[in-house]
Amino acid sequence: MPSIMLGVNHMNEEQILNSIKSSVDNGFYGFDTAPNYNSENYLGKAIRKIMKQYKLTREQFFICDKIDNFPLLEAKGHIKQLVENSLRKLDLEYIDLILIHWPTPDYFVQAWKELETIYEEKVVKAIGVSNFRIRHLRHLFNSDIHYVPMVNQIELHPLRTVEDQTAFHREHGIITNSYAPLCRLLPALSEAPIIYDACQKYHKTNAQIILRWHIQNGYIPTFKSSNPTRIRQNQNVFDFELTQSEMIQISNLNMDFKYHVESVCCPGF
């Protein structure tokens, strides 16, 4: 899995093509989508076009897709057809990583067990979950499963560090994939004195400082942008290193703030 992923949620066809080109030109090949992002068709089409134009192979790309909550609810946890639908829309030979998007009550265990079978059939290269809290993961572990989720994609940024959850992930060998890693650059984060000071010291943008914080914590951030300049900047975070003191100060911005509301499919989430 690449060290940084680019999300293509709710972009049009032209935006996705330009975003992927910008990312590939910068040496990054990881892209994140989901059925309810309305981008699977465009993403697959763009990748095929860029593969031909740049003479690249499918193996050079890493595609993360998801099983959404409403379809999962309607299918009562039977997800084979949902995975086939995504493969058809992407029009690619396989999916590198597929996640259960939300811990949909009553059905996420059934869905996980079917996902294990799909993984064993090599339809997908890796399997994981998204928005699962510790209690959901523990419930899964106690449900006679064969594989621990390889990834958990959660909202994570310096305003929401969820250190108990990331420690749980490390304990069980689960990769932490952070979405909304910049928290929309809200002033409480982007204008914090520690962020400003680090920007001046390293001659980096506030987004680069925040993404570097993710990288040094061992997280894989998935950010969204359709701006080629911003994409290049956000991926250019490997030529400097924050000090331990700076890392702690950035983590101390935590206020357990969650930008995205919980899924309506997960009451009592």
Contact 228, 9 (CB under 8 A): no
| Residue 83: other Cβ atoms inside 10 A | 18
Give the C-alpha separation, 198 to 204, whole Å: 8
The reply to whether 259 belongs to the active site is no
Which amino acid appears at position 51 of this protein?
Answer: M
Parallel, antiparallel, or unpaired for β 95-100 and 124-130? parallel
Catalytic residue among 29, 37, 42, 219: 37
Q: How distant is the alpha carbon of residue 186 from its chain centre?
A: 20
Residues with a catalytic annotation lie at 37
